[in-house]
Amino acid sequence: MNGSATDQESPMHNKVCLVTGASSGIGRATAKALAAKGAEVFVLVRNRAKGEALLQELSRETGNNRLHLLVGDLSSQQDIRRVAAEFLATGKPLQVLVNNAGLINTRLRRTPDGIEEMFAVNHLGYFLLTQLLRPRLVESAPARIVSVSSGAHAFIKRLQLDDLAFERSGYRAFPAYGHSKLCNLLWNRELSRQLQGSGVTANCLHPGAVGTGLGTQNAAWARFVTALLRPFFRTPERGASSSIHLATAPEVEGVSGKYYYDCRPIRPKPWAEDDAAAKELWTLSEKMTGLGERNLL
């Protein structure tokens, strides 16, 4: 970074951060804030051209040249493994991982791995990438894992691990999306338990209703509704406030296993605090990603 003395004195100046889904919306706002605070930032996006343009924009807007591009599709476990290997090959530490990438589908779609796409991206993408980077996070401690969940976990009151594609009950977008966000909270609960004493914390957050492209990938009506409601949405910058807070604030050092909204801890729904369900989800996630106990620290 060509930063000022103030930048170099920032607590984030010697930190390395990785932000997924950084090409727009909350992810872009988060990456920009981290870069502005002097951190070295890796951004993970699906489209190389957009990613290269993003790096130029962020460098121009923040004066930070310590920005790096990773390109991969979090619906593909092969891509996730490749991206993780690329980062690990840099030999750099990792003090902050922000799991931000996500999507809402309006119809049932499956990944190349045959998994319902929202569960694959919104949950398994977080799980697999974090597990692959977990040893580096532990080596780099103190470190933080920040994952974007949602108040949409209230849409569904139990794990539905025996029907992940919602085929028996009839596929509906919001219950399926809410299920993936419930999985974020349960996974984070078990992850934070496993990380106790490691110097690595794991927290989730609800960003609020933000006017991003999250729900506009696959249907004209979704794009229309999003455009209609956009004046009532939060800005990406406000939506990213809890992500930035959890990634950088000194006062949350050592805080783990929590759920935040507007930079404050709140209680999720009771079914998001079910330890038995969290363990069941963890076991299934290991099986679906081909990970086992040998991969854990």
Torsion angle of the four alpha carbons 39, 142, 290, 285, in this order, in degrees rounded to the nearest 10:
-100
Q: Could you write out the DSSP letters of every residue in 249-261?
A: -GGGTT--S-EEE
Neighbours of 228 (CB within 10 A): 9
| Closest among 133, 261, 148 to 195, alpha carbons compared | 133
The one-letter code for the residue type at 215 is: G
Distance (Å, rounded) from C-alpha 240 to C-alpha 87? Answer: 24
Report, as residue numbers or ranges, the catalytic residues: 177
